[in-house]
Amino acid sequence: MNETIRFPAEFEPHHGTLLIWPERPGSWGKDPRAAEKAFLDIIEELLRLEKVYLLVNPASIAPVMEKILARLQLDKPPANFQMIGMETDDSWARDTGPTFVYRGVKRLGVKWSFNAWGGEVDGLYASWEKDDKVAVGFTAFLGDTLLDARPFVLEGGSIHTDGEGTLLVTESCLLSAGRNPQLSKEQIEDKLKEYLGVEKILWLPRGIYQDETNEHVDNMCAFVRPGEVVLAWTDKKEDPQYELSRLDYEYLQKVTDARGRRLTIHKLPIPDHPVCVSKEDPENFVFEPGEDEREAGERLAASYVNFYFANGAVLLPQFGGENAESDARAVRILKELCPDRRIVPIYARHILLGGGNIHCITQQIPL
């Protein structure tokens, strides 16, 4: 393991969290109020726990600040909230923001190349130039050193660490044709080890069914502590997710982490009922040319694994309606696995409708 660089786990103490305000009509709708409410729910919870940095397109700063203050019932922003004017294409802070690592005791922001999850091969929108500048801009704002990994293409949602040298990824994502097709699997491993200081990379075969990011690992499997993971699961053999989860489960049973430990695997069932685009949902979207579109009846990549560790809490997606029992089950499982943290259920269907979930719109900033 490269001793000079360490990629800290998300469950380690945070300085704060980065988010980006939702505005893109193709993700959040021409009427984005439902998505905004979900973001505000998350921001309000995070402000109880740590500092929040919110990127906002400069023209929207005043109205967004008004919404924040109204939600918090304050006349001025709290000391641990900072709004930053920065142009972006969308709101996926996990994927466009920097990945933070330590070199010794110094914090660095890793800048990966971002190409909208596949570039010209299978990217989700045609223009991503603003998003590709977020990591550099935010790292500079913090005054941290930039560790430039370009032209290597990667998103923060495609990696997950135990903080002790082990990295989870999926083959379906990192080996996809739209990212680094010029590199072999071994060369990709070398890049990850170089910039993240990890020693061992665990290559899960697949991710969540219908995950348009080529199946990011953060929707499928996550460390809850070193040596223990949660894995998205279903017992329904007729569900297309069953085979994907089975492949990952069998793989994880066979491997060891960077410290030589066998992994304890906790199954975290997906919603019992598929979460789908309603007949009314597409009427709200305004798509740009080349942008991936939503269709009524389309199954969304709903998973409870897309939770976020904050200081002392877990922000857990909830989908409501016919999945009320599934939601409650996920809360119970996370309470058992994280007894020292408060489990915060967040109704997140409208984040999922945008293409991701709570983990996808947040990026932790370690101390």
Over residues 249-275, the pLDDT tens digits come to: 999 999 999 999 999 999 999 999 999
For the chain, give the mean pLDDT.
97
| Ranges of H-type helices in the chain | 25-28, 33-47, 61-72, 93-96, 119-122, 134-142, 171-174, 185-196, 240-254, 324-337, 349-354
Q: Say what percent of the chain tops pLDDT 90.
A: 99
Write out the catalytic residue numbers.
360
Q: What is the pLDDT of residue 1?
A: 43
100-130 pLDDT, tens digit per residue, is 999 999 999 999 999 999 999 999 999 999 9
CB 208 within 8 A of CB 219: yes
With b for 16 or more beta-carbon neighbours within 10 A and e for fewer, the 117-146 pattern comes to bbbeebbbbeebeebbbbbebbbeebebee
Question: Residues 231, 220: contact at Cβ < 8 Å?
Answer: yes
The pTM for the full model equals 0.97
Count the neighbouring beta carbons within 10 Å of the beta carbon of residue 62: 9
Q: Which domains are assigned to the chain?
A: 5-366 (3.75.10.10)
Q: How many whole angstroms separate alpha carbon 204 and alpha carbon 217?
A: 8
Cα gap 238→255, rounded to integer Å: 27
Above 50 in pLDDT, residue 2?
A: no
Sheet containing strand 228-233, strands side by side: 221-225, 228-233, 264-269
Half-sphere exposure of 138 toward its Cβ, with a 13 Å CA cutoff? 35
pLDDT given for residue 94 in this prediction: 98
pLDDT at 304 over 80: yes
Do 45 and 314 contact (CB within 8 A), yes or no?
no
- Residue pair 49/310 in contact by the 8 Å Cβ criterion: yes
Q: What is the pLDDT of residue 365?
A: 98
Answer yes or no: are the C-beta atoms of 45 and 315 closer than 8 Å.
yes
Q: Token pair for residue 103?
A: 């070199």
pLDDT confidence band for 58 (50 / 70 / 90): very high
Pairing of strands 145-153, 106-113: parallel
Phi (first) and psi of residue 65, to 5 degrees = -60, -40
Measured CA to CA, the distance from residue 236 to residue 341 in angstroms comes to 31
Q: What is the pLDDT of residue 3?
A: 59
CA 85/CA 183 separation, integer angstroms: 36
Distance (Å, whole) CA 66 – CA 9: 34
pLDDT of residue 331: 98
Give me 217's structure tokens.
């690992």
